Amino acid sequence: MEAKQINQTSYWIFWDRVFFRFLFAYIFLYCFSFPFYYIPGAHSIIHPIGSLLQNLSIWYGTTVWGIDAVPTEETGSGDMLLYWLLWITKLSLAVFITIIWSLVDQKRLAYSWLKKMLITYTRYYLALIILSYGLFKIIPTQFDEPSPRMLMQMYGESSPMGLLWNFMGYSTVYQIFGGITEVLGAVLLLFRRTTLLGALVLIGVMTNVVMLNYCFDVPVKLGSTHYLLFSIGLAAVYGKPLVNLFFRNLPTEPMDQTPLFEKKAWFWGTQVVKFLLVGFVFFSMLSAAIAQKEYTDNQKRASTLAGVYDVVQFSRQARTDSIANNYRVYWRRMVVDDAQPERLWVEQVNGTKLQYQVKWDMLKKQVTGHLATDTLQRIAFRYQSKSKDELWWKGTCNEDTVHMTIRGFKTDSMLLKTRKFRWVSPTPFNR
Q: Tens digits of per-residue pLDDT, 367-399?
A: 999 999 999 999 999 999 888 789 999 999 888
Mean pLDDT over 11-15 rounds to 89
Distance CA 43, CA 46 (A): 6
pLDDT on residue 157: 85
Q: How far is CA 152 from the centre of its chain?
A: 25
Q: Tens digits of per-residue pLDDT, 151-205?
A: 888 888 889 999 999 999 999 999 999 999 999 999 999 998 899 999 999 999 9
Is there a contact between 218 and 212 (Cβ–Cβ < 8 Å)? yes
Q: Tens digits of per-residue pLDDT, 214-228?
A: 999 999 999 999 999
pLDDT on residue 253: 78
pLDDT on residue 249: 83
Helical spans, DSSP H, in 36-159: 43-59, 81-104, 112-138, 148-152
pLDDT on residue 399: 83
Burial class (CB in 10 A: 0-12, 13-18, 19+), 372: middle
pLDDT on residue 8: 47
pLDDT on residue 322: 44
Amino acid at 77: S
| Residue 327's pLDDT band (cuts 50, 70, 90) | low
More confident: 329 or 191: 191
Q: Tens digits of per-residue pLDDT, 249-290?
A: 888 777 777 877 888 888 888 888 888 888 888 998 999 999
Spell out the domain ranges in the chain. 2-299, 307-410
**Is residue 131's pLDDT more than 90?**
yes
**Is residue 329's pLDDT more than 80?**
no
Tell me the three state secondary structure of residue 284. Answer: helix
| Residue 56's pLDDT band (cuts 50, 70, 90) | very high
The architecture of the domain spanning 307-410 is Beta Barrel (2.40)
Distance CA 316, CA 362 (A): 25
pLDDT on residue 318: 64
- Which pTM does this prediction carry? 0.87
User: Comparing 14-23, 112-121, 410-419, which segment has the lowest mean pLDDT?
Assistant: 410-419
| Residue 139's pLDDT band (cuts 50, 70, 90) | very high
Distance CA 112, CA 124 (A): 19
Burial class (CB in 10 A: 0-12, 13-18, 19+), 414: middle
